Amino acid sequence: MERLTTTEAAVAAGVSIPQINRIIDEKILPEGLYSTSPIRTFRTDACLMIAFYFETAEWLTANARLETIRNAMAHCSTWDQWKDCTVGEHFLTVHFSDLWRAVDGRLRRLSEARRMVAEDPEILSGTPVIRGTRVPVHDVAAQVDSGIPTERILKSYPSLNASQVELASIYSKAFPQRGRPRRLSIPGATRISITKKRLSNSSVGD
134 and 160 share a domain? yes
Q: What is the pLDDT of residues 146-181, one digit of tens each?
A: 999 999 999 999 999 999 999 999 999 999 987 655
Is there a domain that residue 180 lies in? no
Q: Is 84 exposed, middle or buried (0-12, 13-18, 19+ CB in 10 A)?
A: exposed
Is there a domain that residue 34 lies in? yes
Task: Calculate the alpha carbon distances from 36 to 14, 43, 84, 181 in Å.
Answer: 21, 12, 30, 28
10 and 37 share a domain? yes
* Parent domain of 76: 3-108
19 and 50 share a domain? yes
**pLDDT of res. 195:** 41
104 and 123 share a domain? no
| CA 77/CA 139 separation, integer angstroms | 40
149 and 103 share a domain? no
- The predicted model scores a pTM of 0.83
100 and 158 share a domain? no
Q: What is the pLDDT of residues 61-111, one digit of tens each?
A: 999 999 999 999 998 989 999 999 999 876 788 999 999 999 999 999 999
Is there a domain that residue 189 lies in? no
**pLDDT of res. 196:** 39
Is there a domain that residue 206 lies in? no
Is there a domain that residue 193 lies in? no
CATH of the domain at 162: 1.10.10.10
